[in-house]
Each structure stands twice: as C-alpha cells, then as structure tokens.
Chain A
C-alpha cells in the first residue's frame, strides 16, 4: 500500500445477492491528499454503492479497501463506525438534514459518535458558520425546516468537515440545484477543501461538472461492470 494514498482499493469485487447483472470490479483505485476526483456515471450504475464500500457501510466480496492506510475489513463493526465518523465526511444527495434538529445539531451529528470535545466542535461550527454567512442565531434555530436550499448546502458542507476528516465523499450533492447554485456550491466546497486540506471524491451523473474537476473518471469505463 502506498503511504501517500488516502484511499486505496485493490482487486475489489462487489455484487448484490439478488441482482445478477450488477457487479463492481475495481483492480486499482486511489486518491491522494488534496486530490479532488469526480466519478461520472449514469443513475443506478452503482456510484453510491461504490461510496458505501469506501466508507465501510458495506463490505466487498473480495479485495481490500484502505482508508488512511487502514484496511476497513480488519476493523470490528463499532471500530468502523467510529473510524468513519472521525475520518470521512459525507455530503448527501439533497443534503439530508434532519428537520427536527437545529442546524447546529445537524452540523454536530458526526461529533456525537466520537470522543472529540463537543465544545471545540461547536466553536468550529460557529466559525465556519460565520465564514459561510450563517449567523449564530440561524444555527441555533430550534429546527431546520425552513432553511433555504443555499443554507442547507452550507450546513451540509460544515457537517462534512466538522470532525476534520481527511476526505469528503459527496453523493450527487448538486443534482437538484440550478446552474448558479451548482456553481456556488462547488466553489464553496473547493474553497473549504483547499483551506482544510481535505481530499474530495464526488460521484455524479451530471456531465456539466466535468469542467470543474481536473481528475474525472467515467464509472463505466474505469470500473469493470
């Protein structure tokens, strides 16, 4: 395993029991520090499954996934959950905020499952809130129901970096955004990743995003299906 690689995948094979046509096979894949990669592919082709394999939500049938030189298959279930919350930030499709929690608590969710100092994490949340034009009152709102799309975007970005992860996995975060919002979201995400020295792996079906990334992989051609 190359120590420069944040994520390294070797000879991975994955298929679902009840889906004969679906199979992912990755011989060699890696992401290095500060790298930003976009994986493009059609909907339903297995992009999210690929991200789930990287964050250990599902285990490969064969092969290994290394994150920060740690072979995920060697971790116990609870170690894997903790490892994920401490080292991997995730941005969901449509941001996936819990409406019944305050924006601040949405941001702090990953911190609740680690041993990190919650007060320091709160300070970090407010700091990034300020940077991204989300004032403290807004973050302390009793729930997240009435937030605008822009506010949701920014909160989901802060949530993904709150535990100072080394990598962010983003699953089609721009799929429901218009052109302007898409651009501003990506700019914001890149800025934060650069500032915090975080690598980014984004999957999307949106070909327009090609120009935004230096490193673009076509899911179908790169991974044997």
Chain B
C-alpha cells in the first residue's frame, strides 16, 4: 500500500501545475458549499439563541413570524400594540415568573430605540449569557439611555454623551427637547442588542406626551424636568417577553392568552415560530445545496477528466510498472488514490481557507448582521460532507482508473 501511495503521490507531484489547478477548483467548490452551510448554521444558531430567554412572546394578534421578527430582532414593520393594562394582567398571573415589556418605534441615526424596564438587562440572555455592561449601568433617571456596543463604537459615543431620539425609524421629527444621557454601554454580545438603544418606558411616555396620532401637537412643549416618574405610565407597548414558572404550562398558557377577552392578544413560542420560519426558507436552502453539490460533482468530474487524459499519456509508466511486477489492480489503485489524494488535499486546503475566511469575515458579519460564524469543521455534518466529497471523487475516479486498468492488461515491453 505504501508503494501505491508513493507512486500516486510522486506522479501527482510531477504534474504539479495541473494538479494544483484541480485542487484549487475542488477546494473552491468545497468552500462555496461550506460557506453557505456555515452561514446558514450560524444564522440559525444566532436567531435561536437570541430568542431563547423567554418562554413566550406576547404581541397583538398578527402573523406569528412577523411579530417575533419585529419584537425580538427588530426586523420588519411595526405590529399593533397591546394595552399596558393587559400587560400588567399577564405579568401578575400566578404562572408568570417574569415579564419584560418592549416598546419599539423610535430611532436614533438608523439605530432602533427599544423601550423596556431595567429587568431587561437582568433577565435577557444572549447565547446563554446574561447581558453585561462594558461601561456604566442601566438607566437610573428617566432620560438615561443604555446603548449597544456597536452603536457606541460606530457613533463614537461615550458615557454621559447626550443623544436625541427621532420619532419613527426614518423620521425627520426629533424629540430634541428631550436629550438622553448615555448611562451605560453594553458589552458586545454578537446579537442585535449590540445595535439597540435602550430607554425606559417612562422616558418613551415622556417624549411622546406632546404627540398624538403620530404627530406633534402644535404650541405644546413639555420640559424634561416637569415629569414625575410615577405619572409616566405607558398606555401601550409593542409586546412582552414572558417567562413562566414551569415550562409544562407553556401550551396551556398560550391557549389561555388566545382567549383573553379585553383585547386580541397572541402568545408565540419563539422556538416554534423560528422553526416555522426555517421551514419556509429551507426550500431555498435545499436548492442552494443542490447547486453546490452539483458544482462539486462537476469539479470532481473535471478532476477525473484530467486524470483520464493523463492516463492516455502514461503508456510507458503503466508498461514499466506492469513489467516490474505491478498488477493491473495496483495500477487501478494508483489512479483511484490520485483522485482521493486530490480530494483530501482539497478538503484540507478548504478547511484552512474557511478558518481564515472566518477570521476575516467574522468582524464584518458580526458588525453588519449580528451573525457570528462558528465554523466547526469537525462537526458530524461536515465530516459526512467531506466523506461524501471523497466518495464522489472515488466514484468519478473509477472512469480513469478503469481506463488505466484496461490499458495495463494490454501493456508490456
């Protein structure tokens, strides 16, 4: 076997340029496949881990996925609000361990402003870790604000800097009479929270005192100092994240909430809603994978064609090997092994390049999309994939190997 290996290896070395190009093609096609899979897995993991803190998401009745995406990931358009009284009813339910209100709508320089209670920073977990402060702490005063790491970094904000919140996501109307003071900056979490600006619900209530139906009332101007915290009770919120005392009660609680009489409310199980979302996109995923497998197959077929062409030019080599004692099976094995070596080297190179790509791309993807690529080349999925690449290379390699075998039967001095 060692001989067969050496002969195959040296034969490949002697054709280094064409072999290098073949390895490059196979590596790139493996990288294409791995990148798509890596991105898909990482995005899925990021989405699921970000939505894991609560057992249920409460919103007004609307599309489950749409509501979840908006409330947890701030993706999409606003849904209807639920009344503060309804939230308090739910929060005070004996089965509820904790409930965190969330109010969305305003923004600051394209970053979403999220109104919540200070419990958000104690209860919400991202990737199984509680949110931590890089600097400062959560809001103490009404007009205190906590900003995500990316917001601070991108906009070069420091503690105690003042910021003005705009009404709506791309509005030209600013709540400029109510400047917020940065009281805390969160540590990087690799999630959408890095791009959020957190304010208290009281603050949101305060800055909207002079607003009605989405418009600022003319000739009314409240002052920041004129508010008493106890008076600033929100009328509505976008939704809430609920944690129950017992996971067993999730489905019963969800059913009960759907029967809530005061207003139409829905409870979403985040994991289930995200699974539904993934089922919708899985069709596109499957097509992408099919294309990638096709690319790999074609590339390996190219490799087989290159070995095949080479077999036709190796009459002397095959004849010599046969005469010095190599069996036709040995010739067959050498040619199959050449294919395997090419595919194994390509896999190795693609793993190294993928690790390098991850180092280069991770900061960009994390910054832009909150997705942190975790490339585990030893995962069962990847190992199965690499084995299938080797298997395909063996299968397509059978064509030149059989050609070599037939040739060796008739070769000689």
Contacts and interface: CB of A to CB of B under 8 A. Distances in A.
A58 B319 CA distance: 12
B320 A96 contact: yes
Interface string B310-348: 000000110111111111101000000000000000000
Interface string A76-103: 0110011011100010100010111100
A52 B413 CA distance: 6
Contact of A90 (B3, B7, B328, B413): B413
Given A55-B412, A81-B326, A81-B327, A100 B321 contact: no
A60 interface: no
A100 B11 CA distance: 6
A113 B316 CA distance: 18
A82 B323 CA distance: 10
Given A48-B413, A52-B413, A90 B324 contact: yes
A110 interface: yes
B323 A58 contact: no
B325 A113 contact: yes
Contacts of B413: 48, 51-52, 55, 57, 90, 92, 169, 171
Interface residues of A, number: 30
B324 A85 contact: yes
Nearest to A114: B325
Given A52-B412, A57-B412, A112-B3, A90 B323 contact: yes
B10 interface: yes
Given A85-B324, A90-B323, A96-B320, 14 more contacts: A52-B412, A57-B322, A77-B327, A77-B328, A81-B327, A86-B325, A90-B324, A96-B319, A100-B13, A100-B14, A101-B7, A112-B6, A113-B324, A159-B324
Nearest to B321: A109
A109 B320 contact: yes
A143 interface: yes
B12 to A, nearest CB: 9
Interface residues of B, number: 23
Contacts of A99: 14
A100 B325 contact: no
A109 B7 CA distance: 10
B246 to A, nearest CB: 71
B320 A82 contact: no
A206 B105 CA distance: 98
27 contacts: A48-B413, A51-B413, A52-B412, A52-B413, A55-B323, A57-B411, A81-B322, A81-B327, A82-B325, A85-B324, A90-B323, A90-B324, A92-B316, A92-B319, A96-B320, A98-B10, A98-B317, A99-B14, A100-B10, A100-B13, A101-B10, A105-B6, A110-B325, A112-B3, A112-B324, A113-B326, A114-B325
Contacts of B412: 48, 51-52, 55, 57-58
A109 B10 contact: no
Nearest to A113: B325
Nearest to B316: A96
Nearest to B10: A100
Contacts of A100: 10-11, 13-14
Contacts of A114: 325
A144 to B, nearest CB: 10
Interface string A135-164: 000000001000000000000000100000
Interface in B1-24: 3, 6-7, 10-11, 13-14
